[in-house]
Structure 1
Amino acid sequence: MSDFATPEDLVRRTRAAVDAAAGAGRDLGLTVSDARVLYDLFSVVVHLAPAPVVARIPTVLPHYASLEHLAHRQRAELDVARWLTERGTPVIPPSPLVPAEPVQRGGFSMTFWQFVDQDHDREPDYVANAESVAELHVAMRDYPGRLSFLSAAEPQFVTQSLALLERRPDLLDPADLDRARREWQVLEPLVSSRAVFEKTFPGIELRPIHGDCPPANVFYGTDGDLFSDFELVTSGPVEWDLAGLGPDLEAAYDRGARRVGARSLDRDVLGFVNAVGMLRVIATLALAPQLPALLGYLTPSIEQWRTMPFAGGVAG
C-alpha cells in the first residue's frame, strides 16, 4: 500500500482546496478572512467566513473525472437546487451572492452555497428523513431540465474500477472481484440503457430524483430541515434514493408516499438498485489510495454484500 496517500498528503490536499476556494471567493467579491473547514471526506466543504457562503470542492474522484466532466454535473446540481428553492422546497440554496456556476481554480472545480446555521443538538433521524423523501420526489417531478438516465450509478466508474481492482488483490479478494464482475455483466445493461430498464421493469416511472441517498443528506438547520447535496441528481426510479437503506427506512418512505398520494416502493426494483449500489461500494475501493479511511468504511458493506442474492435476484 505504498501508493496510499499519507496523512501529510491529505493535509496538503485539504489546504490546497481551502486556498483555492478562498481565492475564488475573493475574486467573486466576497470578504474571506477566516475560511473554516466544515467537512472533509470526498469533498472539502468550507465556510468562507465571514461571508455567509459555503464552498464545496470535490477532491476524491475517479481518474477520468476531468474538470469539465465535474462542472457539467455541478451545473445540473445548481440548477435543480435553484429551481426547488424558487418553488419553496426546503433545500440548501446556491449562494445568492455569486453566480450559480461552478468555478475552477487551482485544479479544482467548486460550487458556492448559502451558509445555514446548523442545529448541533439534534441527532440524525433517518427514519423521519426517509419518510420525507417522498415529498421531495413529488416536488422534483416537474423539474424541466434534462437529466441523464441513472447517471448517479456512474457505470463508467464501476467498469473502470473493477478493471483497476484486478491488479489490486490487496484491496479486493480475487473471488469477490470475480463475483462483482459477473454481477456487473447482468446489471450494467439495465444501468446504461433506459430501454433495457423499461423492458425489465415495465410500468416503473423514471423521473427526476436526488441520486445520492437523500435520507442521509438532510441538513438540520436552526430554522428547519433542508435537503442538500444534489451532486448526483439524475433521472431514475424513486427506489434509487432508498438503495441499501434496509426495511425500516423503506417502510418509512412508503408511509410518506401514502401521505402524498405516491406509489410504494417496488420490491423487484429495490433488489436491482440495492445490487447496483453494492457494486458502487466495491468500485469505491479503487479510490482508497486517495482516501485510505475508505477501507474501514467500506468493509462492513462488502461483508454484507457477500450474503446477498446474486445481482439482487435480477435474471441475466
Structure 2
Amino acid sequence: MPESMTSDQLAARTSRALDAAVAAGRALGLTVTDAAVLHDVFSVVVHLAPSPVVVRVPTVLPPYADPDSQTARQRVELDVVGWLAEQGHPVVPPSPLVPREPVRRDGFSMTFWQYVEQARDVEPDFVRNAGLVADLHAALREYPGELPFLSAAEPRFVTEGLAALEARPDLIEPADLDRARREWKVLEPLVSSRAAFEAAFPGIDFQPIHGDAPAVNIVASSDGPLYSDFELVTLGPVEWDMAALGPECEAAYDSAARRRGLRRLDEGVLRLVNAVGMSRAVACLALVPQLPLLAEALKPAVEQWRTMPFAGGLGD
C-alpha cells in the first residue's frame, strides 16, 4: 500500500479536478468565470459560477475503479435522479443546461447538477430526515428502470480493502484485521447474492433505494429539504438506507412508513446492514493514502465496531 499523499499532492489533485470541471463546463457552453470548490472529500464539488451548475468530480476511488465503471454508475444515478425530478419529487436535479450524461475530462469522470442555494445556519435533524427517507422509498418504488442487487455494499471494495490493510499495521491492529476478515466471510455472501440474502431473510422485499445514508444526504435548501447524492443507488432492502442511524431514527422511519403504507424495518436485516456498514468502515482505512483525514475520522466507527457482536450476531 502506498504512503499517504502529502498536503501538496492533495492540493494538486484538487486543482486538477477543479481545472477539469471548468474546462468541461466551458466545452459544454457554460459561462464560467468564478468557479469555486464547495466540498473536497471523496469528490471535489465545484460551483461553475456564475452558471447555476455544480460539478461533482470523484477523486478518492478504489484501485479497480476505471473510467468505464465510473461512467456506468454515474449514468444510473443521473437516470434515477432525473426520473425523480420529472415526477416532482424534491431532489437536487441534474443540470438542465447540459446533456444528462457523465463527462470525461483529463482522467476524471464527472456529473453536472443544478446549483441549489442552501439554507444557512440550519442544523441537520437526522430524526426528521429519517422520516423523509420513507417518503423517498415510496417514490422510488415506482422507478421503472432496472438496478443491480445491493451494489452499494461494494463487496469487492471491502474484500480488496481488507487485503490491502495487511501491509498497514499502523492503520489497523492485526487482531482487529483478523476479526474484520472473519466477519466478512460471514457477511459477504449475503450482500453478494440475492439468493443467499433471500434464503437468510425470507419474505423481505427489495426495491430501489438510495444506497448511501439518505438521511445524512438531505440538503436544507431555501425551498425545503432536497434529497441528494445518489451515487450508490441500488436495488435492496429499505433497511440498507437506515444503517448506523440508531433506534430514534429507526422509530421515526417506522412511523412515517406506517403512514405511507410501507412495511416496518426488520430487526434481523438491520443487524446485517449495520454489520456490513462496519465492515465497509474498516475497509475504508485502505483509502487513507488517498485521503489522510480518514485515519482520524474513522476512529470512532472502529471503536464502536469493537464493542459490537461478531458479524452483527449472524455467526462466528
Shared fold per TM-score greater than 0.5: yes
Which residue of the partner structure matches residue 44 of structure 1? 44
Q: How far off is 1:144 after superposition?
A: 1.3
Structure 1: gaps of 5 or more residues: none
Matches within 5 A, 1:185-204: 185-204=185-204
Query: 1:295, 1:310 → 2: CA distance?
Result: 23
- The 5 Å alignment of 1:1-316 reads 3-315=3-315
* CA–CA separation in structure 2 for the residues paired with 1:163 and 1:146: 32
CA-atom RMSD, angstroms? Answer: 1.0
What is the CA distance between 1:146 and its match in structure 2? 1.3
Q: Distance in 2 between matches of 1:111 and 1:169?
A: 36
1:121: how far off?
2.3
- After superposition, what is the alpha-carbon deviation per residue over 1:234-292, rounded to whole angstroms, capped at 9, x for unaligned? 00000000111111111111111112111110000000000000000000000001110
Task: Return the letter of the residue paired with 1:174.
Answer: P
The CA distance in 1 between the partners of 2:40 and 2:7, in whole Å, is: 13
The change in CA–CA distance for 1:196 and 1:226 in structure 2 (over 3 A counts) is same
Structure-1 separation of matches of 2:256 and 2:39: 30
Give unmatched runs, 5+ long, in structure 2: none
Using the TM superposition, name which of 156-165 and 249-258 deviates more: 249-258
Deviation at 1:223, TM superposition (A): 1.1
Identity %: 66
Letter in 2 for 1:9: Q
C-alpha offsets along residues 128-183 of structure 1, whole Å, 9 cap, x if unaligned?
00111000000000211111100000000001001101111111110001001110
Task: Specify the SS of the correspondent of 1:214.
Answer: coil
Q: Helix, strand or coil: the match of 1:34?
A: coil
User: Could you tell me how far 1:77 is from its partner in structure 2?
Assistant: 0.4
Matched residue of 2:185: which SS?
Answer: helix
One-letter identity of the residue aligned with 1:259: R
State how far apart, in whole Å, the 2-side matches of 1:242 and 1:296 are.
24
- In 1, distance between residues paired with 2:296 and 2:75? 32
- Partner amino acid, structure 1, of 2:119: D
How far apart, in 1, do the equivalents of 2:132 and 2:244 lie? 17
CA distance in 1, matches of 2:123, 2:189: 39
Following superposition, the deviation at residue 87 of structure 1 comes to 0.5
- The structural deviation recorded for 1:2 is 7.8
Question: How far apart are residue 7 of structure 1 and its match?
Answer: 1.0
Length, aligned pairs only? 316
Find the aligned partners of 2:110 and 2:244 in 1 and give their Cα distance.
28
